[in-house]
Amino acid sequence: MKLYIAPYAPNPRRVTMFLAEKGITHIEIVQLDLPKGEHRGGEFRAKSPLAQVPTLELDDGRTLTESRAICTYLEALYPEVNLLGADAFERASIEMWDRRAELMFAMPLMLWVRHGSPLLAQVEKNQNAEVAVYYQAQAMRMAKWLDGELSGRPWIAGERFTNADITAACGIDFAKMMRWRPGEDFPNLKRWREAIAERPAGKVPA
């Protein structure tokens, strides 16, 4: 199998962190240069019609895009270490928290960066400063809520590390491009992110 990713992109990193936590090392990693438009070439579009990374190419040529779909497939192949839930309720609960982490936290952080970082102007042709300000405020509101949730448990979805933690961490780490990290104003979020740094998933470069 081959996994197509791009440097610094948060959604591909969600998959590489997932692989690291599971100890999966035999999947070939192929780096694409997004500023050079390598993801828009005809050869790659045949694998990923929407020119998306990450893209997982199976040995028989079939492909999957969308980070969560790729992780679901890999979890089925390699069920341990379990990151998506061991029974029906836990699977649903982790998916609930993963969706919250993605749509309500990581996505606003990513849109803040995409519209606010001068470093992304070459990739994001339609940057809008007002959009950046709006999503920064959305992300900070969610950061405050998550900080409160983490005052009562170690990990986002409960008592153990799961894919929901990976999703949220990738959003936070992408926001380093705006010089933001959870600090003393978000003590539980800061403690949680520091705990991730000690895990295999936390060793994957941002």
Q: pTM for this structure? A: 0.95
**Confidence (pLDDT) at 37:** 86
Residue 123: what pLDDT? 77
Q: What pLDDT, on a 0 to 100 scale, did the predictor assign at position 187?
A: 98
pLDDT value of position 75? 98
- 102, 85 contact by CB (below 8 A): no
Q: What is the pLDDT at residue 206?
A: 83
| Per-residue pLDDT, 144 | 98
Q: Would you state the pLDDT for residue 122?
A: 75
The whole-angstrom separation of Cα 51 and Cα 49 is 5
pLDDT along the chain (206 residues), means of 10: 94 98 97 89 93 97 97 97 98 98 97 93 85 98 98 98 98 96 97 98 94
CATH class given for the domain over 2-77: alpha beta
CATH code that applies to domain 88-200: 1.20.1050.10
Q: State residue 188's pLDDT score.
A: 98
The pLDDT assigned to 15 comes to 98
pLDDT the model gives residue 44: 95
> Can you tell me the distance from the alpha carbon of 180 to that of 134, in angstroms, rounded to the nearest whole number?
16
Domain boundaries, the chain: 2-77, 88-200
**Which pLDDT score, from 0 to 100, does residue 121 have?**
80
For residue 77, the model assigns a pLDDT of: 97
Q: What is the pLDDT of residue 34?
A: 87
Quick count: other Cβ atoms within 10 Å of Cβ 101? 25
Taking residue 49's Cβ as centre, other Cβ atoms within 10 Å add up to 11
Tell me, what's the pLDDT at 117?
93
